[in-house]
Amino acid sequence: MAKKNYSCESSDSCSLISVTGISAGSSCSESCSSTSGSSSSSSTKSISKSVSTISSSSCSSSCSSSSSCSSEQTYSDNSTSKTTETSYESSSTSCDNSSTSCDTSSKSCSKCDDVSSSQCVKPCYKKCEKLVKKYNYAKEELLAISDIIVVLNFIKAKLIAVQPNIDLRDVNKYTPEQNIAWLECFVDTLFCVLRKNDAYKIIKVKDCKLKNDSSDTVIDNRTYLIKIKYTAKCDEVCRNLPLVFDWTQITNNDAKSFKGILNNVVRQIDNYIKGYQAASTVPFLC
């Protein structure tokens, strides 16, 4: 019967672990070396009777894991009988840092910053209370400003989105008056949607399309007046925001000229939005 014996040659009782499955309490940080030859029959019998179990021990190296194994394979000349026994000993990993420790029961290693050494300025609670009262007093005003910005952004987005349709339209086939009427019909639809929108929290939106002073044969500017009403601290507030379409600035009956007029209105809306965004920060100023 030919045998190969792999055993641990160390000062610790590694063979005891592989045979009995009982940890001897050592860290087993040495490597396994293999030796070939024949062992005594008594040790072979005791190994064949035992079934090794897996035991884990913590190896206190700097975040590294080590493993040791003892394996004995016995093959008989008879082809029908084959015995293989293998035992493994696995070691768990532990983090040994000055400020971080890992336990087998806890998988997360967290490091908490110590803020006790930081020089924090103590907040002035009286000033904080004053600002909170100022904010609560202007809360309805801030909600109204938020709704106004929503209205302006809606008009702005649509005036930008419609411009590719101007490129697709053969504006040269139509008179300037016809092209202006086509775009004003689009703007009328936008304001119709704004009037019917019930999603506003505070404001009520109305619009006024001012009549042109000149006759129909002469191109004149068009002004759309956005009328906004809301109540803040039992007082009714009215805001009128004019949007002027400078049709008299059209030099050529082409798509570029009409898109330029719409972009001028977009810039007017941008100025309104910046003003209301600045107004919404006033309650936070000391």
Count Cβ atoms below 10 Å from residue 121 Cβ, excluding itself: 5
- Residue 34 in this model has a pLDDT that exceeds 60: no
| Token pair belonging to 48 | 């064949």
Cβ distance 73 to 2 under 8 Å? Answer: no
> Quick one: pLDDT at residue 64?
42
| Token pair belonging to 92 | 């768990």
> Quick one: pLDDT at residue 233?
77
Digit-coded pLDDT (tens) for 125-153: 787 888 888 888 888 889 999 999 999 99
Say whether 191 sits in a helix, a strand or coil: helix
- For residues 122 and 158, what is the distance between their CA atoms, to the nearest angstrom? 49
Its pTM stands at 0.57
- For residues 213 and 205, what is the distance between their CA atoms, to the nearest angstrom? 25
- For residues 255 and 103, what is the distance between their CA atoms, to the nearest angstrom? 72
- For residues 205 and 226, what is the distance between their CA atoms, to the nearest angstrom? 7
Residue 90 identity? S
* Domain segments of the chain as ranges: 3-92, 125-284
| Token pair belonging to 147 | 């709704």
Among 12, 94, 86, 6, which Cα is nearest to 56's? 94
- For residues 171 and 56, what is the distance between their CA atoms, to the nearest angstrom? 83
Tell me the pLDDT band of 101, cut-offs 50, 70 and 90: very low
Count of residues making up the chain = 286
- Residue 115 in this model has a pLDDT that exceeds 60: no
As a whole number, the mean pLDDT across the chain is 71
Digit-coded pLDDT (tens) for 233-267: 778 899 999 999 999 999 899 999 999 999 999 99
- Residue 35 in this model has a pLDDT that exceeds 70: no
Cβ distance 129 to 235 under 8 Å? Answer: no
- Residue 59 in this model has a pLDDT that exceeds 60: no
- Residue 114 in this model has a pLDDT that exceeds 50: yes
Digit-coded pLDDT (tens) for 89-100: 444 444 444 444
> Quick one: pLDDT at residue 212?
76
Task: State the virtual CA torsion across 54, 58, 61, 62 in degrees, nearest 10.
Answer: 110
Beta bridge partners of 58: 92
Beta strands in 41-160 (DSSP E): 56-58, 68-75, 82-92
Task: State the virtual CA torsion across 40, 41, 47, 49 in degrees, nearest 10.
Answer: -170
* Residue 8 burial (C-beta neighbours within 10 Å; 0-12, 13-18, 19+): buried
Q: Which residue has the tokens 């000062």?
A: 11
